[in-house]
């Protein structure tokens, strides 16, 4: 399925046809793009050879010519072909609040087939990465050993201070504003039409761009679809529980998993009830375990909320989902070592993520929160005690408001060719949202990866399918039979010490056996 066009063949085709569909855009971007800093400046090599970095100046408030200037950071990975196709691929990070440019380091290799003939463009959305980031103070990792209520109160105070710090500018950090920056980058780089790939919240950016700038949009790929109708937090508990049930059902359908771990969902309910009772009694569960990163003895307080959050975060990826049945089973057996070790890893990873919290809440509180009613807040059940709706309510109630067009929340109807991707075990953006969006996109194709979680463009043959879709701006000639081969991983992989000799199993065993309840 990989493209077999050679650079020589592409160049010859241009010469013979006289067609203007392929261009070298170097001259158009000379004023804002330069070679990215190299090893001498940063201690790291550029993402790829020939990578270009730069900034575009825009107004913080596009409606006010006297508004402050902000810089929008850009990374371009030029096409391998010396004469690139005229329509690049813009890749948009999720979050909200994530950096697209930072994402390039982990992601660009999966788009190697696209890059053979097209530039890859990464733009840090306003308020994120290097584009005037709006960060809040971070809570300490040590706060994880505080009671749940104390942790929440401390976080709420941090967000109050953050809202006050940025109150005059937050209304200009929404998706509606961000897509205008994207189009300004398109113009500055000399492109007429572009393709867009977005993951999670990035799909909303791609959809909104196609609405405001449909004439400039050649195709869109939406991986983990998150339209405004998802009303982040409104359906979160429902979708988390559905994903956990799907994993539990998968375990029960796999003989080895069912025999070794029993019913993960039932076990999880037992563990949560036990942790809740311990916390209420004033004698919380505290675990001495070996930290999986540095192997030092550490103590972890296991609160009910921490357990709920760990299950939720583990559902994000295939690798972590594999460990869920054993982690829950071991905890049900009152051996909390693996749970504590995974919680430590996820907590560290979350702490290091460069999420711009103020930009995040500017989007959520202005775009999602208006769709949530008082009744939703009162009646939506939590996910094992974790209620993201109530968490958001405490912040959105005081967050500075933005003004958006009245039709902003209307379904986006676009004739742009679209490929919509979903993972069966996705706890955040399940297939239901892709189906809803596909219903109003007449040129949309929706694919579900049975073994996928949140974000499936990098799984199995999906990079080649995405590349072929972009090549043709259509799925008509793309064979998708290989998608069915991306199956759920065996849920004893990395967990069954008696039958497996994999390094992951050894790591799991070391963490579990070295722990004390």
pLDDT for position 480: 97
Q: Do 117 and 470 contact (CB within 8 A), yes or no?
A: no
Q: What is the pTM of this model?
A: 0.88
pLDDT for position 292: 77
From the first residue on, what is the mean pLDDT of each consecutive set of 10 residues in the chain (517 residues)? 33 32 53 88 86 96 94 97 94 95 94 97 98 90 75 89 96 98 97 97 98 97 97 94 96 94 97 95 89 81 92 91 95 94 82 86 96 90 90 92 95 95 96 96 96 96 98 96 94 51 32 30
CB atoms within 10 A of CB 374: 8
Fold of the domain spanning 7-134+175-227+416-485: Rossmann fold (3.40.50)
Structural domain spans, the chain: 7-134+175-227+416-485, 147-168+232-410+489-517
pLDDT for position 300: 84
Query: What phi and psi, each to the nearest 5 degrees, are found at residue 113?
Result: -65, -40
* 69-77 vs 217-223, strand pairing mode: unpaired
End-to-end CA distance of the chain: 51
CB atoms within 10 A of CB 308: 22
Cis previous bond, 329, omega within 30: no
Q: What's the token pair of residue 511?
A: 């963490």
Rounded to whole angstroms, the Cα distance separating 325 from 303 reads 19
Q: What's the token pair of residue 372?
A: 């949530």
pLDDT for position 25: 52
pLDDT for position 351: 66
Q: What is the 3-state secondary structure (H, E, C) of 66-122?
A: CCCEEEEEEEEECCCCCCCECCCEEEECCCCCCCHHHHHHHHHHHHHHHHCCCCEEE
Query: What phi and psi, each to the nearest 5 degrees, are found at residue 6?
Result: -90, 155
- The alpha-carbon radius of gyration of the chain (Å, integer) is 24
Q: 125: which DSSP letter?
A: P
Q: Which residues pair with 447 in a beta bridge?
A: 421
- Please give the C-alpha separations between residue 217 and each of 82, 85, 87, 193, 361, in angstroms, as whole numbers: 23, 14, 9, 5, 28
pLDDT for position 151: 82
Q: What is the 3-state secondary structure (H, E, C) of 12-52?
A: HHHHHHCCCCECCCHHHHCCCEEECCCHHHHCCCCCCCCCE
């Amino acid at each position: 399925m990989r493209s077999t066009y050679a650079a020589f063949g592409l160049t010859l085709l241009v010469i013979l046809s006289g067609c203007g569909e392929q261009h070298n855009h170097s001259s158009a971007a000379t004023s804002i793009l330069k070679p990215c800093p190299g090893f001498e400046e940063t201690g790291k090599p550029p993402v790829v050879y020939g990578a270009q970095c730069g900034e575009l100046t825009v107004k913080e408030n596009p409606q006010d010519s006297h508004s402050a200037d902000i810089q929008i950071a850009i990374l371009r990975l030029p096409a391998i072909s010396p004469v690139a196709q005229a329509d690049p691929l813009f890749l948009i990070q999720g979050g909200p609040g994530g950096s697209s440019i930072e994402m390039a380091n982990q992601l660009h290799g999966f788009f190697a087939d696209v890059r053979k003939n097209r530039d890859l463009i990464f733009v840090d959305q306003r308020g994120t990465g290097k584009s005037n980031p709006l960060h809040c103070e971070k809570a300490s990792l040590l706060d994880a050993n505080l009671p749940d209520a104390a942790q929440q109160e401390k976080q709420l105070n941090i967000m109050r201070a953050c809202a006050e710090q940025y109150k005059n500018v937050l209304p200009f950090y929404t998706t509606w504003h961000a897509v205008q920056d994207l189009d300004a980058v398109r113009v500055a780089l000399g492109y007429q039409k572009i393709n867009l790939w977005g993951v999670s919240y990035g799909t909303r950016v791609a959809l909104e761009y196609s609405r405001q700038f449909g004439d400039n949009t050649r195709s869109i790929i939406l991986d983990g679809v998150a339209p405004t109708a998802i009303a982040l937090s409104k359906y979160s508990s429902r979708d988390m529980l559905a994903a956990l049930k799907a994993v539990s059902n998968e375990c029960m359908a796999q003989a080895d998993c069912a025999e070794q771990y029993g019913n993960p969902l039932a076990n999880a309910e037992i563990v949560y009830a036990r942790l809740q009772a311990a916390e209420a009694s004033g004698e919380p569960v505290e675990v001495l375990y070996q930290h999986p990163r540095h192997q030092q003895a550490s103590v972890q307080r296991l609160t009910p909320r921490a357990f709920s959050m760990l299950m939720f975060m583990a559902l994000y990826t295939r690798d972590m989902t594999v460990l869920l049945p054993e982690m829950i089973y071991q905890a049900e057996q009152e051996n909390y070592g693996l749970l504590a070790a995974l919680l430590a890893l996820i907590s560290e990873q979350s702490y290091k993520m460069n999420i711009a919290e103020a930009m995040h809440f500017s989007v959520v509180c202005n775009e999602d929160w208006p769709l949530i009613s008082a009744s939703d807040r009162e009646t939506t059940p939590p996910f094992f005690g974790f209620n993201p709706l109530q968490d958001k309510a405490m912040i959105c109630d005081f967050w500075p408001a933005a003004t958006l067009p009245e039709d902003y929340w209307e379904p986006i109807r676009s004739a742009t060719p679209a490929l919509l991707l979903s993972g069966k075990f996705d706890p955040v953006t399940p297939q239901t949202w892709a189906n809803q969006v596909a219903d109003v996109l007449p040129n949309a194709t929706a694919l579900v990866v049975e073994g996928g979680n949140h974000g499936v463009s990098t799984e199995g043959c999906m990079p080649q399918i995405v590349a072929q879709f972009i090549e043709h701006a259509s799925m008509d000639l793309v064979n998708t039979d290989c998608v069915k081969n991306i199956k759920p991983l065996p849920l004893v992989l990395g967990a069954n010490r008696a039958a497996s000799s994999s390094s992951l199993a050894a790591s799991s065993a070391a963490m579990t056996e070295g722990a004390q309840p």
